[in-house]
Structure 1
Amino acid sequence: MVEKVYLLRHGHIDNGSEKRYLGRTDVPLDSFGFEQARELHDYFKAIPIDAIFTSPLKRCLQTTQILCIDKNTRYQIVEAFCEIDMGDWENVPMSYIKLQYPELYAQRGKDLEYFTPPNGESFHDMAKRVRDAFDAMTHHATGSLLIVAHAGVNRMILSQILGVAINDMFSIEQPYACVNELTWDHQSSKWEYRRVY
């Protein structure tokens, strides 16, 4: 079994001046995001990593590729670590949805876990694919893993570990380029969590 997992969020992206529902929209890192990725590379330079996994989206791939410089470990793409699919709401400003679809907007606020945007995915369904992939990975690999993913993906993993309901998952802060460290405690058979960067 894996002893340690470093769970990262990708570097900063330019999401425009207005808040949007940005799930699988494939935006790259911006200049600050590339700078953050280089800082993450320096942070992990002396930390041994046995395997690296990443979401297929560009912002994660770019972060991962910079992290992998000087490391002998190749990264593997994991489709299950893709961000939530917001369907018809992808890349649409939140203010527009609130104005045009007030009932759906209110419904999402009341039931964050099970609400599904038109042609999209619920957080409940997302949690299953993410947690299944994480559990399989940590049970079949050994040593230390590094996962580069998204705020939503990280929250799905951390909410399970911390016992936080999906409806309360936004209480788990996941800023750009943050590093969550998970260490397996053999005595309690649980993950110990701390944010280290």
Structure 2
Amino acid sequence: MVEKVYLLRHGHIDNGSEKKYLGKTDVPLDVLGLEQARLLCDYFKAILVETIFTSPLTRCVQTIQPLCEDKKKHYHIVNAFCEIDMGDWENVPMAYIQSHFPKLYAQRGENLEHFTPPNGESFHVMAKRVRDAFDAITHHANGTILIVAHAGVNRMILSQILGIAINDMFSIEQPYACVNELTWDYQSMQWIYRRVL
């Protein structure tokens, strides 16, 4: 079984000046994000990592590539770690949705966990695929592993571990290129969490 998990958010991306619903839209790292990827590589130089897993989206793969090259390791793509599918709202400014679809916008705010954007998925559905993948990996891999994913994916994992409701998940800060450390405690039989970067 896995004894330690380093759960990373991908590096910085250029999402424009307007806040948008950016889920599975595949965008690359920007210049700052590429620099953060190099800094993460430096951070993990002295840490023995057995296996590396990543979301298939470019911003995650680019984040982990410098570390994989440095450690001469391959990464494993986990499709379940893809960010939430925002459907018709993908890459659309939040202000546009609020002004053109005020009832739907309000419904999302009232029931964040179960609201489903048109042709998208809810956080409830996303949580199941993410948690199932996390549980399968941590039960079948060994030693120390590293997972590179997204703010939404990380919050799904951490909300379960910390006992935080999905509707309150935004209380879990996940800035670009952050590093969460999960250590399995055999006495309590649960994950011990701290954010290390």
TM band (smaller chain): over 0.9
The CA distance in 2 between the partners of 1:78 and 1:141, in whole Å, is 14
- Asked whether the 8 Å contact 1:88–1:118 carries over to 2, the reply is yes
Q: Find the aligned partners of 2:130 and 2:3 in 1 and give their Cα distance.
A: 19
Equivalence for 1:181: 181
Match of 1:192 in 2: 192
Aligned: 1:9 with 2:3: no
Map 1:21-170 onto structure 2 (within 5 A).
Answer: 21-170=21-170
How far residue 180 of structure 1 moved from its aligned partner, in angstroms, is 0.1
Q: Percent identity?
A: 79
Cα deviation, 1:111-144, whole Å, max 9, x if unaligned, reads 0000000000000000000000000000011100
Q: TM-score, normalised by structure 2?
A: 0.99
**Residue by residue, what CA displacement relative to the aligned partner does 1:10-46 show, whole Å, maximum 9, x if unpaired?**
0000000000000011000000000000000000011
CA contact (8 A) 1:13 1:59 kept: yes
Moved over 6 A (4+): none
- Rounded to whole Å, the distance in 2 between the matches of 1:175 and 1:12 is 9
Asked whether the equivalents of residues 41 and 69 of structure 1 are also in contact (C-alpha less than 8 Å), the reply is no
Aligned equivalents of 2:24, 2:67: Cα separation in 1: 22
Q: State the AA in 1 paired with 2:192.
A: E
Map Cα deviations across residues 146-177 of structure 1 (whole Å, 9 max, x no partner): 00000000000000000000000000000000
Q: Secondary structure at the match of 1:52?
A: strand
Moved more, 155-164 or 63-72: 63-72
Kept in 2: contact 1:49–1:73 (CA 8 A): no
**What's the CA shift for 1:73?**
2.3
Please, what is the CA RMSD of the aligned residues?
0.5
Q: Give structure 2 stretches of 5+ with no counterpart.
A: none
Moved more, 60-69 or 154-163: 60-69
One-letter amino acid of the counterpart of residue 47, structure 2: I
State the aligned residue count: 197
Runs (5+) with no aligned partner, structure 1: none
Shift of 1:66: 1.5
